Structure 1
Amino acid sequence: MIRSSGLFLAGAALLALAGCSANGGGTTGTGGVDGARIAAAPPGEWLSTGRTYDEQRFSPLGAINPGNVGQLGLAWSADLDTARGQEATPLMIDGALYVSTAWSMVKAYDAATGKPLWSYDPEVPRETLVKACCDAVNRGVAAWGNRLFVGTLDGRLIALDRKTGKPAWTVMTIDPKSNQTITGAPRVVNGMVLIGNGGAEFGARGYVTAYDAQTGKQVWRFYTVPAQPGTKREPEYLKKAAATWHGQWWKQGGGGTVWDAMAYDPALDLLYIGVGNGSPWNQLYRSEGKGDNLYLSSIVAIHAKTGEYAWHYQTTPGESWDFTATQHIILADVTIDGKPRKVLMQAPKNGFFYVLDRTDGKLISARNFVPVNWASGIDMRTGRPIENPAARYYKTSKPFIGSPGATGAHSWQPMAFDPKTGLVFIPANLAAFPYIPDPAWKPAKLGFNVGVDMGKAAMPADAAARKAALAATTGALIAWDPVAQKERWRVSFKGPWNGGVLATAGGLVFQGNAAGEFVAYAAANGKKLWSFPAQTGIVAPPMSYELGGQQYVAVLAGWGGVWALAPGVLIDKSGPMRNISRLLVFKVGGKAQLPAPPALEKAPLDPPASTAAPDVIAAGGERFGRFCGVCHGDAAVGGALVPDLRRSGVLNDATTWQQIVHDGLLKDNGMVSFAGVMSAPEIETIRQYVIKRANEDKALERASAPNTR
C-alpha cells in the first residue's frame, strides 16, 4: 500500500506560515520562487521540471478526468524554430509558460493564450553537436526568485530574468576544450543552482556542481570518479572509490556523468543524483576489466548544503553496457509490510526496478520490469546483480547480445508516480544490442569512444534480419506496483523511444509516442481514452497547470534523441518519423487546429555503382560505425533529423565528400571536420561503404516493391 506522500509537510508548513502569499490564495503564485513554494507547489503551478522536489510528476488537478477527456482539444500551439529533438518539460509560473527547446533556446508564452512573451537564444555554436551523443536536445529550465536557469549544449549555465528573458549572469561549467555538454534540466536547492554534465562516450569525468543563484559563483563541486592518484587531494569518498579502479582510467576520464536525474528531500537535506556509464563502456580498456568502478551507474546521496557524500547504491558494478543510473528518480512515502518507509525509486537502463530507503540507501527490493539476460536477478543479501558470465564480452572475447541494450530498458524519458493508485508508470524499451569486442580499439579525439566494434554491430542489408529486428524491437508503457514489484498493466507499442509520462488526480496518464500520437490512458487499467495526432513523434514528458479555473495539459512535440538518429528507420518499416517541433497545449473544449503537415519528400535511392574492393568497404564500415553512425544511422540507414547519406547527391562526388568530411565545409550545420582522426583516403573508404550499402538497400527496396506487371 502506498499513501499520499508526506515528504514536504515542512515546506507546506512554511508556506502556511507565510499566509499563503506565495500562491496568492489562488492557483498561481504572485512572487519569487523559493524552496517552500517548490516543495508545496500550488496545484495549478509547475515550478520545477518534476513539478516538486520529489519528482513524482503527478498533477493534483482533476478537472480533466475519464468522464470528459474525450472532449479534450487543442487550446493553442506554437511552432518552434528548430527541427531537432524536443525533450523539455515546460514550467508554469504566475500565468506564464517557460520552455527550453533544442539548441538550448528558451521561450516564454502567455499560458492561457499562447501569446509569445520573449525568446532567448544562447547562440550555441553548431559544431558543438559533434560532442553530443544524442541530438541537440535540452530537458528544461529551473526557477528561483525571479530568474530562470538553463544549461547550454556547449556547457554554460545562464541565469535569465523571468520577465524579460535577458541574461543576468553566465558561467562556464566545463572545460570548453573538452568533449562535454549539458542537456539536462538544472534544479535549485537552498539558493544554489545544481547542474551536471554529459560526455561519457567522449572521455569525460563526471561531476555535479552547485552555483549561487544570485551571483553564479561556484559553491561546491562533487566528482563521481576519482582523479589520477597523487595529483589532487581527494575527499574520503573518492579515496575509497579509487580502490575499485585499476589501470590508467583517468586518461579517458572514467565517465560517471550526471547528465539528468536529480531529486531532493528538504527534510533530510539530501540531494539524490543518478550517475552515468563508464568511459569507455568496455571495462577492459577503462579499468583492466577489474573492480566495481565507483561511483559509475550509482544512485548517490549528497548533503545539499555542503556537497559532502552521504551514501550510495551501485546498480551495475563494473558497468560495461552503457547501463547508466541517470534515469528519473522518484521520492515517495510508502507503506511496506505495514510500516511507513521513506523510499527512493528508480528504473535505470539495466532493466531492474529499485526501491531504496532514501535515508540510508539500503536496498528494500529490486525486480526486473522487462526481460533481462545480463543478470538473473539481484542478490538481496549483497545488493549486487547475479551476473551472466557471458555478459562480460571482453572476458569471453565473444559477442554478447544484451537485453536490454545500450539504449536501456528505460532511458531518460521520465516516469510518473500516482500516489492514489500507488503505481509508477514507466516508458520502457524492449531492444537488444550486440556488444562485440574490438581488440584493436584505441581512443580518438572524435566519435564514440566506447571500446566495442560499432561497425560489426550494424544491421546487415538482409530483409529477414530487418524483419526480425523490427518484430523484436518494441516499447511499452508499464504500470508498475513498486511495493509488490509487479506489473499491473501494460500498453505495448510497435517501436521503442516513446515519451515521458504525466499522471493526474483525474485518474489519467498522459504520454506521447513514436507513432506521433498524444494519448490519455486510464490510470487504473491502461485503457486508451483519447488521442491527438501530433504529426511528429513525441518523446518529451507532458505537464499540467490551471488558469482561470481551467485545467490545461501541455507537451513539447518533436521527434529526436538518440533513437531518432542512431538506429535509423528500424522503428517502422514505412520509414523515419519526421520532426515538426511545436509546443502543444490542450483543454476541454479546445477548438484550435494544427496546419496540414508539409509533404514528406524522400529522395530516391540512386547511388553510383559499387566498385571498391571488399577490404576497402569493410574498413569504411568499421569507420562509419565508429565516427558516423551515432548521427547518420545504423549501417547508414538515416533517420529524418539529418541527411540520409545513402540518398545524398554528394555520394557521387568524391571531392565534395572530402570538403565536407575532411575540411569541415558544413561545420556551421554541426558537421565538423574529421581530419583529426581520419586521413582523406580513410574518409574515402566511408564513402565507398555508403555506396555499397545504398546499392544493397536499393536491391531490397526493389525486391519488396509490389509487382506492378
Structure 2
Amino acid sequence: MPFSLRLFPAATGGALTLVFSVAVCLALVADNPVQSIDDSRLLNAQHQPGDWLTYGGNYAEDRYSRLSQLTPQNVGQLGLAWSANLGTTRGLEATPLVANGVMYITGPWSRVFALDATTGKRRWAYDPKVPGKYGEKACCDVVNRGVALYQDRVYFGTLDGRLIALNAQTGKPVWAVQTTDTTVAYTITGAPRVVAGKVIIGNGGAEYGVRGYVSAYDALTGRLLWRTYTVPGDPAKPFESEELAKAAKTWTGQWWKYGGGGTAWDAIAYDADLKLLYVGTGNGSPWNRQHRSPGGGDNLYISSILALNPKTGKLVWHYQTTPGESWDYTATQHLILADLTVKGKLRKVIMQAPKNGFFYVIDRTNGQFISAKPYTFVNWATGIDSTTGRPIETDFSRYTGHNAQVFPSAIGAHNWQPMAFNPKTGLVYIPVQDLSLMYGHDPGWAMNQVSSYASGTGWNTGVGYDPSRPPRPEPQAAGVPPVGRLVAWNPVTQREAWRVDQPTPWNGGLLTTATGLVFQGTATGDFRAYDAQTGKILWQINLGTGILAPPVTYQLAGKQYVSIAVGWGGVMGLGAKFTPTLHPGTVYTFALGGKEALPTFPATPGRPLVDLPVRATETQIQHGGLLYLQYCQRCHGDVGAGGGVLPDLGRSPVSVHENFAAIVRQGVLVSTGMPDFGKRLSAEDVTDLQGYILATVQQKTKK
C-alpha cells in the first residue's frame, strides 16, 4: 500500500501525526522486505553484515563477513537449522541474497525462489519458462548464479537472454527486456549487479560464436541506458566507439564472422569513490587464434579486466591478462577490490585469479600492472614480465605445429567459483584445480564452423587433436594429478600461505569471516569450516551431493546462520560425479545449536551397463566414436563411466536405445534440454553413434 496523507485524521496534532507516520512507514517496510534497499544501503553493504545484499557481499566482492557469533572455538557446534528442497535436478551455482528476513536464490533454468530466511519456508517461486532448446546453447549447464536487489525488486537474467524485474514481495514480473539477439547463441548465467540505479548485465556464448558486450538498464523502467561491446565488429561498418576502432588494429582476418568472443559472463565489481565499474571478459571465439585472427595480434579486449564509466559505459582503462588467448583462458573469474600496502605504499588494487593460472594484482585507479605469480602449476608461460605485464609464453604453448599438453586446461586453474579475501589475515582463499588439456590445431574447422556458429547449434572451438602432427607431452605431467585444492594466497608477497589438498577438482566457492573462518563445499559433498590462518578443518558435514555454490552468512534475531545451495552440475558435473548419488537441489542453513535432521532422499542406485547386441561394423564404430566426441561426450561423459547430472548413455535403459533415433534426430526430449540433431546427423550417423556406444559397453563388460 503506498504511503498517503489521507491515512491520517484531519484533526490530529503534529506530534501524533509524526509518530503515526513513522509507525506506518515501519509497517510498510516490514511488509515489503526490500523496499529499503536503496543506493545508500548497497554502498554500505559491508556495514550491514546481518544481511547479504549483493552477489559478492558488497561492491568490493570480497565475500568477507564481519559477523562475529561464529568463531574457531565454537564452529564445531554448528547444526542444521533448516533445509529447503527446491525440487531441481541440475547444477546450483547461486549465491543466496538475504534481506530483512527473506532469502532470494536462483536455480537451474533461471528459476527464482524466495524463502523465509529463518525457517526455509517458501514464500514464492517464479519460472521464466526458458525453452528447452536453450540447454544446448549453454556451454556449461543450465545454471544461474543469482539475483540483484534494489528498492522493492528482484533482478535476474535468464538462460535465453532476458533480464527480468520481479516484485520482491509477490514474485510477479514488473518488467522484462530481451538483452540478446535470439537468433544467435547468447545465454545469461551470471548474476546482475545494481549500481547507481542501473542494472548491469553481461552474457555468455563465446563457444558458439557471439560478440561480447555488457549493458546497463534503468532499474525502475528496464530502459537500455548504454551498451559496451568488448570486441570490435565488422570494420566495414562504423565502430561503436573510438576504443573499439583502436582494438580492431589488434585483430586480423575476418574475426567478426565468427563472433570474436570476449563475453562478460560473470565478474563485476564497483568502486564508488573512483566511480569505476570493473568487468572481466572472456575467451576469443573460436578459442584457437589461428582461426579467428590468423595474422596474430592481442585481440583486444578478450581475456581482459575493463574499467568502465558506470554512467556511460565508456572504457577508462583495460588490462589484458592473456593477449591473443588461444586456450579458453577467460578473465571472467572473480574480481576483488582491496587496499594493500605494497613495497611500503598503500595501493588501491584489484585482484584476480583467472583461468590462466597467474594471480594478478592491478592498480584499480589506472590499470597499472603491480605483480603476478602462478598460483598453481603453469606451463603455457614461464612468468609475467614485470615491466610490460605481459606473459612470457613458452615456445610450444600455441600448438601451431604439434599437439601440446598445456597447463592449465580450458576448465581453468580457477573457474567461476568465487574466491574470498580476508583483510585481517591478508589472505585470498582460492578454489584451485590442476588439470591439463592436449591442445591441437583442428584441421577440419574451416569446413564446419560458420553454419553451426550462425545458428547456435554447435560448440566449435577450433581446437582438436591433429593426428598429422606430433604430440608434445608435458614432462612434468606425471607429477600433477587432476585434483583440487583450497589455497590461501598472500597477494602482497605473491606466495602460498597454506593449502588443503582435495581428491577431485570442481569444488565450491568461498566465504571468510572476521573471526578467522573459511567456509567451502566440495565436489565430494563435504561442507567445511577451516581455520583462516592455518587451513585446519574445524567442522564438516557431508551433504550427500557435490557442492558448487559459495556459502553466505547472515544474522536474524541475534542468531548467525551459514547457508549454502547444494546441487551438482556445471561443465564438469554434466558427465561426471564424485558422490555415489545425486540429491535434489537443496538449500542447507546452519546455526549454533541447530538440531534439525538432514533430509533423506530416495536412493538413486547406479544403472547397470546396457546389454544389447552390437550390429555395427568396425568402420561404423570408429565413425560413431568421432561423432560421440563431437556431439555427446561433453554432456554425457565417457561411455560406461557412470555419468554426472546427465545420464551415462552406456547405462541408459533399453527403452532409450529402442527410441534412440527419435531422441537424437526428432527432438522428442528437446523440452528437457536434449538437443535435436536432425539437421546435423543423418540416420546413418545415428546408427553409427549408437553402434559405438554399444560396442564400448561390450568391451567394458568383457573386461
TM-score using structure 2 length: 0.91
Distance between the aligned counterparts of 1:634 and 1:350, measured in 2? Answer: 26
1:583 aligns with 2:587: yes
In the alignment, what sits opposite 1:386?
A: 392
Equivalent residues in 2 for 1:352-363 (5 A)?
352-363=358-369
Equivalent residues in 2 for 1:168-317 (5 A)?
168-288=174-294, 290-317=296-323
In the alignment, what sits opposite 1:420?
A: 424
Contact 1:85 1:579 in 2 (8 A): no
In the alignment, what sits opposite 2:515?
A: 506
Indicate which of 485, 506, 521 corresponds to 1:476.
Answer: 485
Alignment deviations for residues 553-600 of structure 1 (CA, whole Å, 9 cap, x no partner) = 11101111001124x35xx5xx76524310011100001112233212
Post-superposition shift, 1:234?
2.7
In the alignment, what sits opposite 2:494?
A: 485
Alignment deviations for residues 526-564 of structure 1 (CA, whole Å, 9 cap, x no partner) = 000000111111110000101111111111011110011
Indicate which of 542, 548, 552 corresponds to 2:557.
Answer: 548
The AA in structure 1 aligned to 2:192 is P
CA pair 634-309 structure 1, distance change in 2 beyond 3 A: farther
Post-superposition shift, 1:126?
1.6
Contact 1:650 1:657 in 2 (8 A): no
Distance between the aligned counterparts of 2:91 and 2:34, measured in 1? Answer: 33
Contact 2:267 2:280 in 1 (8 A): yes
1:518 aligns with 2:522: no
CA pair 134-639 structure 1, distance change in 2 beyond 3 A: same
CA pair 636-175 structure 1, distance change in 2 beyond 3 A: farther
Unaligned runs of 5+ in 1: 1-20, 457-467, 701-709
Post-superposition shift, 1:30?
7.2
Contact 2:91 2:568 in 1 (8 A): yes
The AA in structure 1 aligned to 2:462 is G
Distance between the aligned counterparts of 2:226 and 2:312, measured in 1? Answer: 7
Indicate which of 659, 671, 694 corresponds to 1:691.
Answer: 694
Distance between the aligned counterparts of 1:650 and 1:236, measured in 2? Answer: 60
Contact 1:607 1:646 in 2 (8 A): no
In the alignment, what sits opposite 1:560?
A: 569
Contact 1:249 1:286 in 2 (8 A): yes
Q: Secondary structure at the match of 1:205?
A: coil
In the alignment, what sits opposite 1:680?
A: 683
- Aligned length, in residue pairs: 659
CA pair 634-295 structure 1, distance change in 2 beyond 3 A: farther
1:145 aligns with 2:146: no
Post-superposition shift, 1:440?
1.2
Distance between the aligned counterparts of 1:131 and 1:405, measured in 2? Answer: 22
Q: Which moved more, 1:315-324 or 1:29-38?
A: 29-38
In the alignment, what sits opposite 2:71?
A: 65
Q: Secondary structure at the match of 2:206?
A: coil
Indicate which of 93, 97, 108 corresponds to 1:102.
Answer: 108
Contact 2:261 2:285 in 1 (8 A): yes
In the alignment, what sits opposite 1:337?
A: 343
Indicate which of 616, 640, 655 corresponds to 2:620.
Answer: 616
Alignment deviations for residues 102-150 of structure 1 (CA, whole Å, 9 cap, x no partner) = 1111111111122221111111112210100111100000011111101
In the alignment, what sits opposite 2:673?
A: 670
The AA in structure 1 aligned to 2:282 is G
Indicate which of 329, 332, 349 corresponds to 1:326.
Answer: 332
Alignment deviations for residues 248-279 of structure 1 (CA, whole Å, 9 cap, x no partner) = 11111011110000000011111111100111
CA pair 235-615 structure 1, distance change in 2 beyond 3 A: same
Q: Secondary structure at the match of 2:265?
A: coil
In the alignment, what sits opposite 2:596?
A: 592
Distance between the aligned counterparts of 1:25 and 1:181, measured in 2? Answer: 35
In the alignment, what sits opposite 1:460?
A: none
Contact 2:403 2:466 in 1 (8 A): no
Distance between the aligned counterparts of 2:363 and 2:629, measured in 1? Answer: 42
The AA in structure 1 aligned to 2:435 is A
Distance between the aligned counterparts of 1:149 and 1:127, measured in 2? Answer: 23
Contact 1:625 1:634 in 2 (8 A): no
CA pair 607-403 structure 1, distance change in 2 beyond 3 A: farther
In the alignment, what sits opposite 2:444?
A: 440
The AA in structure 2 aligned to 1:344 is I
The AA in structure 2 aligned to 1:453 is G
Post-superposition shift, 1:698?
2.7
Post-superposition shift, 1:470?
12
Contact 2:255 2:292 in 1 (8 A): yes
CA pair 318-649 structure 1, distance change in 2 beyond 3 A: same
In the alignment, what sits opposite 1:463?
A: none
In the alignment, what sits opposite 1:642?
A: 646
CA pair 651-113 structure 1, distance change in 2 beyond 3 A: closer
Distance between the aligned counterparts of 2:171 and 2:244, measured in 1? Answer: 39
The AA in structure 1 aligned to 2:222 is G
Q: Secondary structure at the match of 1:625?
A: helix
Indicate which of 397, 400, 412 corresponds to 1:408.
Answer: 412
Post-superposition shift, 1:362?
0.6
- Using the aligned pairs only, state the percent identity: 53
Contact 1:346 1:353 in 2 (8 A): yes
1:135 aligns with 2:135: no
CA pair 194-638 structure 1, distance change in 2 beyond 3 A: farther
Q: Secondary structure at the match of 1:391?
A: coil
In the alignment, what sits opposite 1:155?
A: 161
Post-superposition shift, 1:638?
5.1
Post-superposition shift, 1:497?
0.4
Post-superposition shift, 1:447?
2.6
The AA in structure 2 aligned to 1:422 is G
Distance between the aligned counterparts of 2:675 and 2:610, measured in 1? Answer: 26
Distance between the aligned counterparts of 1:242 and 1:636, measured in 2? Answer: 47
Post-superposition shift, 1:453?
2.3
Q: Which moved more, 1:672-681 or 1:374-383?
A: 672-681
Contact 2:161 2:178 in 1 (8 A): yes
Distance between the aligned counterparts of 1:608 and 1:470, measured in 2? Answer: 40
1:497 aligns with 2:506: yes
TM-score using structure 1 length: 0.90
Distance between the aligned counterparts of 1:486 and 1:369, measured in 2? Answer: 8
Q: Secondary structure at the match of 1:390?
A: coil
Distance between the aligned counterparts of 1:621 and 1:361, measured in 2? Answer: 47
Contact 1:577 1:640 in 2 (8 A): no
Contact 1:537 1:577 in 2 (8 A): no
Q: Secondary structure at the match of 2:396?
A: helix
